[in-house]
Structure 1
């Protein structure tokens, strides 16, 4: 499953950044996913939850933003949404000399983490918070 390798990579990168910044945990991770990136959002969400288990990201929320595929025609300058499957031929001049402007993205855009100051105070030994 391709989404599992993507999820593991996201978790690894965020975990490294969290540790480097002294984070105790991660609340939320935002990612941009291009519609042409070949990633199934539901599968990524499932894999992300599994990949977070036992890490500083455990319990983190994954927020995905879809980025539409956009193309530009080199000869006439027209831009358009490519759709899926992508239409990479210009409807105006019928040229195939196009450039893909967006839609292949797969990037981490935001991380919200917790520090010691955000963490609840420790419960004294031998006492539970229910007492």
Structure 2
């Protein structure tokens, strides 16, 4: 399951953010995942507690946000939502499209907890 490796990399990124801001731990971790990213959200959610065990992200809530597949049509210029394995323009039906979103795996935000001074 490569989602465990993804979860471990996510924890490393969160640890770097925690250190950069002088925080004690992460409370909420928001990740944006598109259906074309090659990561199964449910598997990432189940792998995260294993990867985060013993880290400063251990008690954080993992919020996985689904990103829609959006394409830009090179024929008519429209930006429309598309379906997996059917990246057609929703306006004119042409197949000359470019993916605008839906293939991302992005650490969107991290809410941190700090010790009051």
TM-score by length of 2: 0.89
1:88-127 per-residue CA deviation (whole Å, 9 max, x = no partner) reads 2346655332111110111111111111229xxxxxxxxx
Q: Which residue of structure 2 aligns with residue 79 of structure 1? A: 79
Evaluate the alpha carbon distance shift between residue 55 and residue 95 of structure 1 in structure 2; reply closer, same or farther with a 3 A threshold: same
Give the length in aligned residue pairs: 117
Gaps of 5+ in 1: 119-131
| CA deviation after TM superposition for structure 1 residue 64, in Å | 0.8
Structure 2 unmatched runs, 5+: none
Distance 1:91 1:32 in 2: 23
1:69 alignment counterpart: 69
Match of 1:35 in 2: 35
Q: Please, what is the CA RMSD of the aligned residues?
A: 1.8
Separation of aligned partners in 1, 2:68 and 2:8: 24
TM-score relative to the length of structure 1: 0.80
Match for residue 95 of structure 2? 96
Structure number with greater Rg is: 1
